[in-house]
């Protein structure tokens, strides 16, 4: 299913809320363990909201090269995608979660895998907050059902062409897939969200690489 929301002629938070409400509705009606593929991480909150509408109370396991833990106050760029996990775990509810019915996930029920590119404010937050940060190779899930969120930029930038925010030195696609397989084997994955934050493919070769990568993930779920 492809979601086609009706966007209001209003500010960006209102427009995002319209999209995320539509995504949450689709997830709520999708049945067990849906797979959602999107262009950025912010939609993860809508996936959680959809699972909540369906009666689940999911934790989050978040694979990402970046920490995604900024707030409107700590971000120097204002890039909302860099706040995604912090928003899902309760930051700025008046702007984000309250608008589409998200009940924030308690930080202690969130696990961050990799996050090799974290800004000082995010490092400070991780040092004092309840979110657990673990290597991809040893990542484990909190108790109960959980959303498995994978930003494909968690994979070493040399394997994924034209990422918007590439970070070298990461795990291989095989390492990430192995970790996801272990998590799926728990039988507690409530949904899988794959974020594809890449620029338009420059040629057929890049499109083929991306298609093969997504196929590897979808095959894992079949």
Percent of the chain scoring above 70 in pLDDT = 98
pLDDT at 1: 59
- pLDDT reading at 72 higher than 90: yes
CA distance 208 to 212: 6
Span 157-161, mean pLDDT?
95
pLDDT of res. 10:
77
Q: What is the pLDDT of residues 92-150, one digit of tens each?
A: 999 999 999 999 999 999 999 999 999 999 999 999 999 999 999 999 999 999 999 99
Question: How confident is the model over 178-194, as a mean pLDDT?
Answer: 98
Q: Average pLDDT in the 48-69 region?
A: 98
Which domains does the chain show, CATH number per domain?
12-221 (3.40.800.10)
Taking residues 193-207, what's their average pLDDT? 97
For 15-45, how does the pLDDT look when each residue is reduced to its tens digit (9 = 90+)?
999 999 999 999 999 999 999 999 999 999 9
């Amino acid at each position: 299913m492809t979601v086609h929301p009706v966007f209001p002629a209003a500010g960006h938070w209102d427009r995002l809320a319209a999209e995320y409400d539509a995504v949450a509705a689709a997830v709520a009606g999708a049945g067990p363990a849906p797979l959602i593929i999107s262009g950025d991480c912010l939609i993860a909150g809508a996936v959680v909201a959809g699972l909540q509408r369906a009666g689940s109370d999911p934790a989050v396991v978040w694979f990402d090269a970046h920490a995604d833990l900024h707030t409107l106050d700590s971000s120097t760029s204002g890039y909302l995608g860099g706040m995604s996990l912090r928003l899902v775990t309760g930051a700025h509810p008046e702007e984000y979660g309250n608008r589409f019915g998200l009940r924030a996930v308690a930080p202690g029920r969130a696990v961050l895998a990799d996050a090799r590119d974290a800004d000082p404010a995010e490092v400070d937050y991780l040092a004092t907050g309840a979110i657990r940060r673990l290597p991809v190779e040893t990542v484990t899930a909190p108790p109960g059902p959980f959303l498995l969120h994978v930003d494909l930029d968690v994979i070493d930038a040399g394997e994924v062409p034209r990422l918007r925010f590439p970070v070298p030195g990461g795990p291989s696609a095989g390492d990430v897939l192995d970790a996801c397989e272990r998590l799926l084997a728990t039988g507690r994955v409530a949904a899988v969200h794959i974020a594809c934050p890449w620029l338009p493919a420059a040629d057929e070769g890049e499109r083929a690489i991306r298609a093969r990568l997504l196929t590897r993930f979808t095959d894992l779920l079949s």
